[in-house]
Amino acid sequence: MNPKPLTNRLIGDWSKIYRDTPERQLAALALSKTDANDVAYSAAHSYAMVPQFSIEIPTMEVTDQQSSGRCWLFAATNVLREQIAKSLNLEKFELSQSYLAFWDKFERANYFLESIIDTAHLPTNDRTVQFILTTGVHDGGQWEMFANIVRKYGLIPKNVYGETYQSSHTNSMNAILNRNLKVCAVRLRESIANGASIETIQSFKEDMLAKIYGFLASCYTEPPKQFDFEYMDKDGIYHVDRALTPNDFYQKYIGDLLERTISIIHAPTMDKPYHKTYTIRYLGNVAGGTQVKHLNLPMDEFKQAILNQLKAGKVVWFGSDVGKFGERKKGIWDDASYNLELLTGLDLKLSKAEGLDYWYAAMNHAMVISGVNLVDGQPTRWKIENSWGDQNGEKGYYVCSDSWFNEYV
C-alpha cells in the first residue's frame, strides 16, 4: 500500500468549491439545528403512504415490547393470537411474551455454554469463537427460534404470566447475564485445557445453569407449570379451561400450525443462489432444536408467497431493517420520502445486494404484515402491525412503501 496524503492545496480547492456552492450553504443552515433525516424528509412524497389497503386483515390492538428487543416474540405471538381469538370469539387477547423470553434466555445460556465447549480447542481470537462471545445472550431472535421454544415449552396467556420491570427493561439483566457467561466461558475453557473429563465439564456446566436459572427466575418470576385459562368472549360470556399445562394450551389452541411454516428470505447476493436454504453455524437457542434455516427466493416469488398468505386471510411475520427511511411519528417507512443525496451532496446509492455484502443493511426488527394495497395486481404499500405501542402511526399500525419493502424486507 502506498497511501496518498491530503495536501493543503487539495483542501484549499475543496474549500473553495464548498464556499462557491449555494446548495452547500443552504444545507449548512438547515443542518445547524435540525436532524439530517428531518431536513431530508419530503412531505409531498409521504402523502402516497395513506393507510388504506385493498387487502386488509382485521387484527387486534397493537402490543408494546417497551424497552426490550423482544420484537420477534411479540410479532410471533401476535400471529398466533389471531387464531386463538378467532376460535374463541375474543375481542382482546395476548399471549405471554415473558414466558417465552424466560425460556429463550435460559435455553440460549445453555446453547452458549455448549458452543463454548464445542469450540474450546480454538483460540479466543478465532472468528467463530469471537462470534459466539460477541453474540452472547440477547433479546433478538428468528422465527425458528420462536418455534423451538414453543414446541418445547408451550404457550400461556399473558394474564397468567405478565411483565416485570426486568422483562420489559432488559439492558441491565442482559449485561449481567453476559458478564456471567463470559466468566463461565473462561472457567469451561480452562477446565477443558487442563484435561477435565466430559462428565466433569457437563457437571460444571449444570452448576452454572442452576445459578442462571435462579437469576432469571428472580428477574421474571418462575414460570407456571399449570394454570387455569379464564376469559370473557365478545358476548360477555365467561369461560374457564382448568388445569392446563403450557403444552396442553399450545396443542389445544394452536395445533400443528408451526409445523406448516417456513422462513423465506430475499438475499440477492452472489454467495446465495436462489431456491436453496441457508443457515449460520452457532445461531440458535435450543440445543438439539430445529436449525434456523431460510429459503432464498427471487423477489417476485417472495412477494407472491406473502400475497397468497394475505389473500387467505392470514397475517405474516417478517423481519426488516427499520433504521432506514422511517418517520416514526407518522408511522411511515418510505425511501422516496427522503432525499438525503440532495441534502448532503453525497452518493448514497447502494443496491440491496451491495447493502448486504457491505454491512449497510441487516434485519433488526420483526413485525407483522396485515395488509397490502394492490394496483393492477402489484403492491404499492403494505400495512404493518408493530409492537411499539399505540402512540405513533395509526394507533401503532404503520405503512411501508413497496420500494422500501424491496430494499429492506
11-46 pLDDT, tens digit per residue, is 999 999 999 999 999 999 999 999 999 999 999 999
State the pLDDT confidence band at 1, using cuts at 50, 70 and 90. Answer: confident
Torsion 234-239-244-248 (CA) sign: negative
pLDDT tens per residue, range 77-104: 999 999 999 999 999 999 999 999 999 9
- Tell me which of 110, 365, 373, 392 is the catalytic residue: 365
pLDDT digits (tens, 9 = 90+) for 369-402: 999 999 999 999 999 999 999 999 999 999 999 9
Give dist(CA 409, CA 394) in Å, integer: 21
Residue 337's pLDDT band, with cuts at 50, 70 and 90, is very high
Own/partner pairs, 36-39, CB within 8 angstroms, 24+ separation: 36/340, 36/343, 36/344, 37/338, 37/340, 39/343
Find all residues with CB under 8 Å of 338, minimum gap 6, and list them: 37, 40, 41, 42, 325
Domains 40-59+262-285+292-409 and 90-256 alike in fold: yes
Element (H, E) at 111: helix 97-118
- Count of beta carbons in the 10 Å neighbourhood of residue 29: 10
299, 331, 314: which is closest to 372 by C-alpha?
314
CATH number of 90-256: 3.90.70.10
| CA 294 to centroid of chain Cα atoms | 15
Burial 31-66 (b: 16+ CB within 10 A, else e): eeeeeeeebbbeeebbeebebebebebebeebbbbb
- Is-catalytic flag, 365? yes
pLDDT by residue (tens digit) across 316-334?
A: 999 999 999 999 999 999 9
Structural domain boundaries in the chain: 40-59+262-285+292-409, 90-256
Q: Quick one: CATH architecture of 40-59+262-285+292-409?
A: Alpha-Beta Complex (3.90)
Question: Do residues 295 and 263 make contact, with C-beta atoms less than 8 angstroms apart?
Answer: yes
Residue 178 is a catalytic residue? no
Contact between residue 399 and residue 332 where contact means Cβ atoms under 8 Å apart: yes
Q: Exactly one of 71, 184, 219, 400 is catalytic; which is it?
A: 71
Q: Is 219 a catalytic residue?
A: no
Q: Where are the beta strands (DSSP E) in 292-402?
A: 294-296, 316-320, 326-327, 332-333, 365-375, 378-385, 397-401
> Is 256 strand, coil or helix?
coil
Give the active site residue among 110, 296, 373, 386.
Answer: 386
pLDDT > 90? residue 216 = yes
